[in-house]
Amino acid sequence: MAVFDVYIKKIAEYIAAMRAGGKQVRTFDCPGDPERLLNGLPVRVGPGAGSGIVLRGDTFAELGSPEAGSCAFPLWTQNVGLVKDGRITLIGPDILESKGASLPFGQILIAAGAKLSEKEHSVLDESQYVSDQIEGYMVKSTPGRMWTRISNDAAEKGFGFEVLGKALMGIYKSRAPQIEAMEVVFITSSKEDVRRLDDIAEQVKKISKDIIRETWLARGYDILECTLGWDCGSCPDKVVCDDIKALITVRKKKPGKAKTDRKTPSGKK
């Protein structure tokens, strides 16, 4: 499947344009093996390693706050030749150079694997918001937006973009073994530089939405109608979601509301 290939090429062009425009562009080339990526990191990585929230008083640097702006999306391809395995590209200042700063933030994760397919897309899409898996790294997200903080403790241990990139690649490769090569691009140079990615992000979002919906439809769920398609059996918010769904149902049944012809979660009318 080559649906994202054009955007992977556009990201390469974007990096080249940034470099040509005199922006500070750095690259870190890391080993591709997931174990080697995660071994020796100065912070813990894995389920439960994060602390949920990093308060401002404990924050070394903040990335992508609503005021500073952010952009985040994953791309994937079956063409392994499009991706330089283990490469981290950073446009702008690194974390450890930004004590006390609130920087804009762009994060693009690019995965490649001959066996990658739409089935893995949801995993790739969800994994970018690894909110609780990296010690001292807080992630709060809305679709396409990512607001993160790095704690003073994590910074003291040497948490920079090389560490973050390795952790993300390690997590991704562990979750989707079909990934043969992976790159990460971070942008912190300016809000304008992050916003230059908006068009690509919008297109990627539309494609991503269609892939995820089609994948779940094939399993018998319409995720836009029924959030139970998202493995709610293990979701602590299931009761809340059920409440909200019940509320919406009650509202739709109120006298004076137009009746809508909508399908049940199982796909039956």
Pick from 125, 107, 117, 258: nearest CA to 197: 107
**Cα–Cα distance measured from residue 264 to residue 269, given in angstroms and rounded to the nearest whole number:** 6
Q: What angle do CA 236, 237, 239 make, to 5 degrees?
A: 105
Interface pick for another protein out of 243, 263, 264, 267 (rule CB under 8 A) = 243
Rg over alpha carbons for the chain, rounded to the nearest Å, is 20
Nearer to another protein, 88 or 226 (CB): 226
Taking CB under 8 A as the rule, does residue 99 contact another protein?
no
Of the ranges 83-91, 136-144, 157-165, 172-180, which one interacts with another protein (CB under 8 A)?
A: 136-144
* Burial bucket for residue 89 (CB in 10 Å: 0-12, 13-18, 19+): buried
| Residues 186-225, interacting with another protein (CB under 8 A) | 209, 223-225
Block residue for tokens 């997200």: 141
Give 251 or 253: the residue with its C-beta nearer to another protein: 251
Residues written for the chain: 269
- Residue closer to another protein (CB basis): 2 or 248: 248
Q: Using the structure block, give the residue that is written with the tokens 């499947």.
A: 1
Shortest Å, Cβ 246 to another protein: 7
Name the minimum Å distance from CB 65 to another protein: 9
Other beta carbons within 10 angstroms of residue 27's beta carbon come to: 12
| Contacts with another protein, 52-81, as mask; x by CB under 8 A | xx-xxx--------x---------------
Residues that bind another protein (CB under 8 A): 51-53, 55-57, 66, 129, 131, 140-143, 145, 147, 209, 223-225, 227, 230, 235, 237, 240-241, 243-244, 246-248, 251
